[in-house]
Amino acid sequence: MAALTNTTAVAGAPKISPVKALPFISSRSFSFPSFNQSISSFKPSSLTKFPTLFPLESSRNPSTSPSPPSLKSRLRDGETLYGIFLLSFSPTLAEIASFSGYDFVVIDMEHGPGGIHESLQMLRSLTQTNTPAIIRLPESRGAWAKKALDLGPQGIMFPMIESAKDAKKAVSYCRFPPDGIRGSAHTVVRASNYGINEDYLSNYMEDLLIMCQVETVDGVKKVEDIATVEGVDCIQMGPLDLSASVGYLWDPGHKKVKEVLRTAEKGVLKSDPKNGGGAFLGGFAMPHDPPEELGKRGYHMVSGAVDIGLFRNAAVEDVRKFKISLKADSDGEDDKDSDKKYWSE
């Protein structure tokens, strides 16, 4: 870079010294790969050549940090897991759920208003407590599975699986070629710690829980075949859609719906998931079928509530209490002790 000089003399003006060229670092001093070089050969470890510019301390590498047992390993150890569905896509409620001690949370893209970006924020809220997250897809398609898996959830749930063929497709969406058809960007996505976890490709399937929802009469008829598809880890029952399929949308507790549900449950429980020959059983509690009842019937994963439902119930009860208190005050306006008791509670 040539030095800049003052080429115009002005009478009485102070003399200006030449401006020296600013120091700069030549690109030749770096050994970054050329654009023609395969991105797969460029590993983050190469950045350690420049520790002052790109510090990558091994203690900060998430792949070297100990992690709690996965949902899949806990299920194989015989645990019964309890979780909650999150439909609000509120990071605050996700954070509260994680601190509350749930074994897992389901981020529901099927019925909640959020998408991939909002799911990412939910996952980040769950990170500090290592609460496992399962993402329920809006539909069982490869494009949705690819985007969800790249976020790095511990589980993925496919809705409306009605045959072994559907289940095999779902599994293929979760696996890279040649074992499946999942698209790959493993060098930069969150699932691999943005490429920092160099072991991702060798162990990405070990802890991933693949869940298939059976929620129609046709699905129940094929539930045993679905449960034994290689790669399917859990069959999740969908009681509301199942009641609609049976013909009792407004009455999921109808005896005919219960009969179909029990048939599906028994079909899944016939399998042997601990030895790789079947799937675990997951389900969602209902007012007529509380969580403890599902546990007694052999469910391995029980979802007991929805964040929106919990808040709705609490809000309705809060308003109800206040309205009752106003009525009580109007019936006994001179009862000062009663008034004081209400506000002190």
What CATH number should be reported for the domain holding residue 84? 3.20.20.60
Q: Does residue 38 fall inside a structural domain?
A: no
Within-domain flag for 59: no
Name 108's bridge partners.
Answer: 136
Does residue 329 lie within any of the structural domains? no
With a CB cutoff of 8 Å and minimum separation 6, the contacts of 61 are 193, 196, 197
pTM flag (> 0.95): no
Q: Is residue 334 part of a domain?
A: no
Tokens of 85: 């569905």
Give residue 67's pLDDT: 80
Residue 286 in domain: yes
Task: Tell me which DSSP letter residue 143 carries.
Answer: H
The CA-atom distances, in angstroms, between 287 and each of 84, 100, 239, 309, 332 are 15, 22, 11, 12, 37
Angle value at C-alpha 214, between 208 and 215, nearest 5 degrees: 135
pLDDT for res 275:
83
pLDDT of residue 331: 74
The list of the chain residues with pLDDT below 50 reads 1-64, 338-345
What is the separation of C-alpha 191 from the centre of its chain, rounded to a whole number of angstroms? 11
**Domain range for 166:** 71-313
Count: domains in the chain:
1
Residue 272 CB-half CA count within 13 A: 3
Geometric angle at alpha carbon 96, from 92 and 98, rounded to 5°: 115
Angle at 328 between CA 325 and CA 329, to 5 degrees: 90
Residue 320 lies in a domain: no
Would 345 be classed as within a structural domain?
no
pLDDT attached to residue 332: 66
d(CA 149, CA 123): 12
Q: Count CA atoms within 13 Å of residue 185 on its CB side.
A: 11
Examine residue 66 and state whether it is found in any structural domain, yes or no.
no
Residues with catalytic annotation?
111
84/106 Cα distance (integer angstroms): 6
